[in-house]
Amino acid sequence: MTDFSLTIKETSKTQVTIAILNTELSMTLTCDIQGKYSSEEADLYTRIGTEEYGLEDYFNDNPVLFRTLDESLITGSEIYKGNPDAISFDQKKIEDLDWDELNTDVGLEFGSSRFKGKVSIQDALEQYLKLDAQNTYILYDHGSGEIADYIAIQVQDNQVIVRLYHVKKMHSANYNSCMEDVYEVAGQAVKSTIWLRTKGKFTEKISSRHTVGHCKPVRGDFQECLRVLRDAGKRLTAFIVIVQPALSKSAKMTDKVQEVLAAASTYIKRAGKVQGLEIIGSK
167-211 pLDDT, tens per residue? 999 998 899 988 989 988 999 999 999 999 889 999 999 999 999
Distance of CA 187 to the CA centre of its chain: 5
Asked if pLDDT for residue 65 goes beyond 80, the answer is: no
Summarize pLDDT for 252-264 with one digit per residue, the tens.
998 889 989 998 9
> Is the Cβ–Cβ distance between 101 and 92 less than 8 Å?
no
For 13, 116, 150, 175, 267, the CA distances from 192, given in Å and listed in that order, are 31, 34, 12, 25, 12
Statement: the pTM of the whole predicted model exceeds 0.75: no
Q: Nearest Cα to 273, choosing from 195, 157, 209?
A: 195
Average pLDDT, the chain: 88
The band of 83, judged by pLDDT with boundaries at 50, 70 and 90, is low
The DSSP line for 130-182 is HH-TT--EEEE--STT-S-SEEEEEE-SSEEEEEEEEE----SSSTT--GGGT
> Is the Cβ–Cβ distance between 57 and 45 less than 8 Å?
no
Distant-in-sequence, close-in-space partners of 253: CB < 8 Å, separation ≥ 6? 89, 91, 176
> Is the Cβ–Cβ distance between 132 and 150 less than 8 Å?
no
Q: Where are the beta strands (DSSP E) in the chain?
A: 5-11, 15-21, 26-32, 37-38, 45-48, 51-54, 65-67, 73-75, 78-80, 94-96, 137-140, 150-155, 159-167, 216-219, 235-248, 274-282
